[in-house]
Chains A and B, each alone.
Chain A
Amino acid sequence: MTDLIAAEILKLRTTRTVWALLAATVGVTMLAVTGAVLAADSGNATLDLESDRGVRTVLHVSASGGIFVLVLGIIIAAGEYRQRTAVGTFLTTPRRSRVIAAKLVVGAGVGTVFGALAALAAFGAANHNYRAKGYTFPVDSSDVWTILGGAVLYAALFGAIGAATGSLVRNQVGAIVGWLAWLAVAENILFQISPSIGRWLPVAAGRALVRDPDGDLLSQPVAAVVLAAYAAAIMAVAMISERRRDA
């Protein structure tokens, strides 16, 4: 399994996709945090940026780049079909569930690295913009660290969910479009219909993980378990359906 994981990492390092998505993740995170500070500080805003709620409002957007980690996870798995490299991968490792598991681990691992760099960028952007507007960024507040830690976990879990989805769906564009439609539209509607069920859905669980101040969301640990369960469930379905599928 170690060899397989190392090979999956080597696959990523030997194309350019991963660097483009890393740049996008960090860039979008910095923009989102900067935007959140500016919005909260605009003329008619009543939010106290130095309060707990202020910190949560600004920092929960540090998961904004997570969408690119989800896309990367999908590419890790479904990209093999797009580039027709899946056959070679299965010739090397005919036990396909091992390939699926390795890809999930790498999706989570790369997500952790992306998430850590994005959290660092979010911290820097928040600190800089607070100072620029004449506020003090409350670095000793535990909120700062639970939110940034949540953002790292968010990226790790969505990287895993992306990889599992890519293995299941195989169609890279379809998987990405499907998830974007879910994130942008479908889950929102479900959440409006029933918040008590909606908060168990992936986007709401992700928001809980970065302690979004709005809405009656799950606690951070429960949200992490819920997202991990989604990743595991999608992976399990992928492994089972792979037993019947041709490469």
Chain B
Amino acid sequence: MIEIEDVVKRYGETTAVDGVSFSAASGQVTGFLGPNGAGKTTTLRVLLGLARPDRGRAVIDGAAYADLPAPRRTVGAVIDDMGFHPARTGRNHLRVVARAAGLPSRQVDEVLDFVDLPDAADRRVGGYSQGMQQRLALATALLGDPAVLVLDEPANGLDPAGVVWLRNLLRSWAAEGRTVLFSSHVLSEVETVADHLVIINAGHLAADESAADLRSSGRPLEEVFLSLTTAAHR
């Protein structure tokens, strides 16, 4: 269960997120949508303790990220500005995370198999394609077998087979009663997999409703999205 409560985040004169509140329930896939610059990544960075909100708070199962006793076992995250050392192999990157998080090293091999990266695991990340880096990022998120997934544009760089694989992963994760919150630009992708949709625009919450309700309205998601996210500019 993720709760975002009245979060405000300013960068100088710019207010990137302006009083956003929503929650992502466990057992559901929550899609997080918005145009570029709407404040999606900033909201997720606040949730993950990477950025300090000017107001409000974001909690995961009732606790701020920084107060989680074992963050990697509780939350698996993929975030936009997370990089890899180009000279380190994929396997060694995961070994470092496992070591720092106190996770058993066998989980490194397990996630490498799971994201279908074992052949590339002992090559330097500098030689990875964008899709392989994205798989490694997902492997890092899954390393601690977390109950909550927070994924910023997880489909970026994945090939069609990867996108299908990711979709099944998110579904099965939620089916096990875990929480999934993911952001995306790709409306069709979100529509296919999400149980609940949160749309933000220019730092404000524009929609927060179940995918079923949205479908029953009969309007395609694209139309709803465009009407919500362009209205503010008129």
Interface residues of A (CB under 8 A from B): 3-4, 6-7, 10-11, 14-17, 83-85, 87-95, 244, 246-247
Nearest CB of chain A from residue B101's CB, rounded to whole Å: 5
Bound-state CA distance A71–B176 (Å) is 48
Q: Which of B91-99, B211-219, B226-234 contacts A (4 or more CB under 8 A)?
A: B91-99
CB atoms of A93 and B100 under 8 A apart: yes
In this complex, the member of B68, B83, B92, B140 whose beta carbon has the largest number of chain A beta carbons within 10 angstroms is B83
Contacts of B72 in A (CB 8 A): 91-92
Tell whether B66 is near chain A: CB-to-CB under 8 Å: yes
Asked if B99 and A91 make an inter-chain contact with CB atoms under 8 angstroms apart, the answer reads no
Residue B164 interfacial (CB < 8 Å): no
Contact B68 A7 (CB under 8 A): no
Known: A83-B85, A92-B97, A244-B52. 5 other contacts (CB 8 A): A3-B102, A85-B85, A88-B140, A94-B68, A247-B45
A244 proximity list for chain B (CB < 8 A) = 52
For B82, give the chain A residue with the smallest CB separation.
A87
Q: Given that A94-B49, A94-B66 are contacting pairs, would A10 and B96 also be in contact in the complex, using a CB cutoff of 8 Å?
A: yes
| Contact-residue bracket for chain B | 20 to 34
Given A14-B96, A91-B48, decide whether A84 and B83 contact each other with a Cβ distance below 8 A. Answer: yes
A90 touches B49 (CB 8 A): yes
B81 touches A15 (CB 8 A): no
**Cβ B71 vs Cβ A4 within 8 A:** no
A83-B85, A85-B83, A94-B65 known; A246+B99 contact, CB < 8 A: no
Contact A91 B51 (CB under 8 A): no
Q: Which residues of B contact A247 (CB under 8 A)?
A: 45, 50-51
Contact B97 A88 (CB under 8 A): yes
Task: Find out whether the CB atom of B96 lies under 8 angstroms from the CB atom of A11.
Answer: yes
Q: Are B50 and A83 touching (Cβ within 8 A)?
A: no
Q: Which residues of A contact B88 (CB under 8 A)?
A: 11, 14-15
Q: A83 contacts which of B68, B77, B86 (Cβ < 8 Å)?
A: B86
Query: A84 to B81, Cβ gap below 8 A?
Result: yes
CA distance A244 to B99 in the complex (A): 27
CB contact between B84 and one of A85, A90, A92, A94 (< 8 Å): that residue: A85
A17 to B95, CA, bound (A): 18
Bits for B33-70, please: 1 = Cβ < 8 Å to A, else 0.
Answer: 00000000000010011111000000000000110100
Q: Does B186 contact A (CB under 8 A)?
A: no
- Which residue of the partner chain, among A4, A87, A95, contacts B50 with CB atoms under 8 Å? A87
B89 within 8 A of A: yes
Residues of B within 8 A of A4 (CB): 100
Once the chains bind, are B99 and A6 in contact (CB under 8 Å)? yes
Q: Closest residue of chain B to A93, judged by CB?
A: B100
Give 15 pairs: A residue, B residue, CB < 8 Å, sorted on A. A3-B100, A4-B100, A11-B88, A14-B88, A84-B81, A87-B82, A88-B140, A91-B48, A91-B75, A91-B77, A92-B71, A92-B101, A93-B71, A94-B71, A247-B50
List the A side residues contacting B92 at CB < 8 Å.
10, 14
When distances are taken between beta carbons in the complex, the residues of chain A under 8 Å from B79 are: 87, 91
- Nearest CB in chain B to that of A98: its residue: B100
Contact of A91 among B71, B84, B93 (CB under 8 A): B71
Residue B87 at the chain A interface, CB threshold 8 Å: yes
